[in-house]
């Protein structure tokens, strides 16, 4: 089964940039996945068949519900907040996934794109939070946090479950389809983010040919 899944990311880091000059949350959490997906898209299209679609899995989080997309300041240059930048990057991933699925469907491609919320997982992702929060996490992880294995279950479900064959444009949590933030369904916003993202990473915007 041809598959692309990219869960790498950072959370609540101090204001800093990637080697390419992007704000770190937006660059690593979103733009890296956006670019990698586009670079591999032709291969994925060639790999998918009518009976076995290639699958693209994007890992976002419930934090996207609090996210606001600032198209005029995607790199948080005007006002930086670790929480705001992280939430924006996660919202961008959901918008990206929905736009990608629209483009794949319009092109008749045998590829599906879905976005996953793994839940609150006890990983090194929380290493930049305040020490009091770290202590609280250490004390309550067994009760409120998922193990890495539990956190991976929905991604695995999206990747291999027969129930997800041919299904795209879904937001999945606890192995079930659910509603993402209302703003993520804004098709105009999806398209504008896609176009701006193409400019930022230096690739052509083929989506302009698709209504």
Catalytic sites, residue numbers? 86
Q: How is residue 41 annotated by DSSP?
A: H
d(CA 155, CA 132): 30
d(CA 34, CA 56): 11
Q: How is residue 160 annotated by DSSP?
A: H
d(CA 5, CA 36): 10
CB hemisphere CA count around 16 (13 angstroms): 8
Angle between helices 187-201 and 32-47 (to 10 degrees): 100
Tokens standing for residue 143: 């009760």
């Amino acid at each position: 089964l041809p598959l692309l899944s990219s869960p790498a990311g950072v959370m609540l880091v101090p204001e800093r940039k990637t080697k390419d000059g992007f704000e770190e949350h937006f660059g690593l959490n979103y733009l890296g996945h956006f670019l990698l997906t586009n670079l591999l898209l032709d291969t994925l299209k060639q790999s998918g068949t009518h009976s076995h679609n290639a699958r693209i899995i994007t890992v976002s989080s419930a934090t996207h519900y609090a996210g606001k997309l600032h198209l005029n300041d995607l790199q948080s240059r005007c006002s930086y907040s670790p929480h705001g930048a992280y939430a924006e990057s996660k919202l961008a991933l959901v918008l990206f996934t929905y736009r990608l699925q629209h483009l794949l469907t319009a092109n008749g491609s045998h590829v599906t794109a879905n976005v996953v919320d793994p839940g609150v997982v006890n990983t090194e992702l929380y290493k930049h939070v305040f020490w009091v929060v770290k202590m609280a996490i250490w004390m309550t992880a067994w009760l409120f946090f998922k193990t890495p294995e539990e956190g991976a279950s929905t991604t695995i479900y999206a990747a291999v479950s027969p129930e997800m064959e041919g299904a795209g444009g879904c937001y999945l949590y606890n192995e079930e389809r659910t509603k993402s933030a209302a703003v993520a369904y804004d098709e105009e916003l999806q398209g504008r983010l896609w176009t701006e993202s193409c400019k930022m990473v230096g690739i052509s915007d083929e989506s302009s040919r698709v209504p």
